[in-house]
């Protein structure tokens, strides 16, 4: 059974790119287009990993991550931030303050994304 990846991203083109890369690498994907939708669907979908955009309208990825980690049912789901925030300080905050499992900046390469997912899932 393939691992299930939840893609949380408000840019439809970016969702299509990530979905294509993940499915080509053998993963099942679920596309979610907002932070609120993620929080409503995560317990139903039960993803093995979440790829989370940080800059989204209404509720940003940091808030989504905080709420996921506060909930005993979702706190152990690994989250990889996939964001256009490219400053070193942003990455440091994401990894060491917020505590995401990994931090990937856009634009990213296919190999970078797949390797990150595999590493976080313990497949490599």
pLDDT tens per residue, range 18-64: 999 999 999 999 999 999 999 999 999 999 999 999 889 989 999 99
pLDDT over 60 at 96, yes or no: no
Strand partners, 10: none
Cβ atoms 29, 17 nearer than 8 A: no
Q: Which domains does the chain carry?
A: 4-116 (3.40.50.2300)
pLDDT classification of 87: cutoffs 50, 70, 90: low
Least confident of 3-7, 35-39, 79-83: 79-83
CA distance 87 to 13: 23
Q: What sign results for the dihedral spanned by CA atoms 106, 107, 111, 114?
A: positive
Cβ atoms 121, 3 nearer than 8 A: yes
The pLDDT of 6-17, averaged and rounded, is 96
Reported pTM: 0.92
pLDDT of residue 71: 97
Angle, helices 12-24 vs 110-120, to 10°: value is 70
pLDDT of residue 100: 87
> Cis (ω within 30 of 0) for the bond into 107?
yes
At 103-119, the pLDDT tens digits run 898 899 999 999 999 99
The pLDDT of 75-85, averaged and rounded, is 90
pLDDT classification of 10: cutoffs 50, 70, 90: very high
* Chain length of the chain: 124
CA distance 115 to 49: 13
- Find the DSSP H helices in 9-49: 12-24, 35-45
Looking at residue 86, what DSSP letter applies?
-
């Amino acid at each position: 059974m393939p691992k299930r990846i939840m893609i949380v991203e408000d840019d439809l083109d970016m969702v299509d790119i990530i979905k294509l890369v993940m499915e080509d690498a053998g993963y099942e994907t679920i596309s979610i287009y907002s932070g609120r939708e993620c929080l409503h669907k995560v317990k139903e979908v039960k993803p093995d990993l979440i790829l989370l955009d940080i800059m989204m309208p209404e509720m940003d990825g940091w808030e989504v991550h905080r709420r996921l980690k506060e909930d005993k049912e979702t706190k152990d789901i690994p989250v990889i931030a996939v964001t256009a925030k490219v400053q070193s300080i942003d990455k440091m905050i994401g990894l060491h303050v917020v505590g995401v499992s990994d931090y990937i900046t856009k634009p990213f390469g296919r190999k970078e994304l797949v390797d990150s997912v595999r590493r976080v899932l313990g497949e490599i």
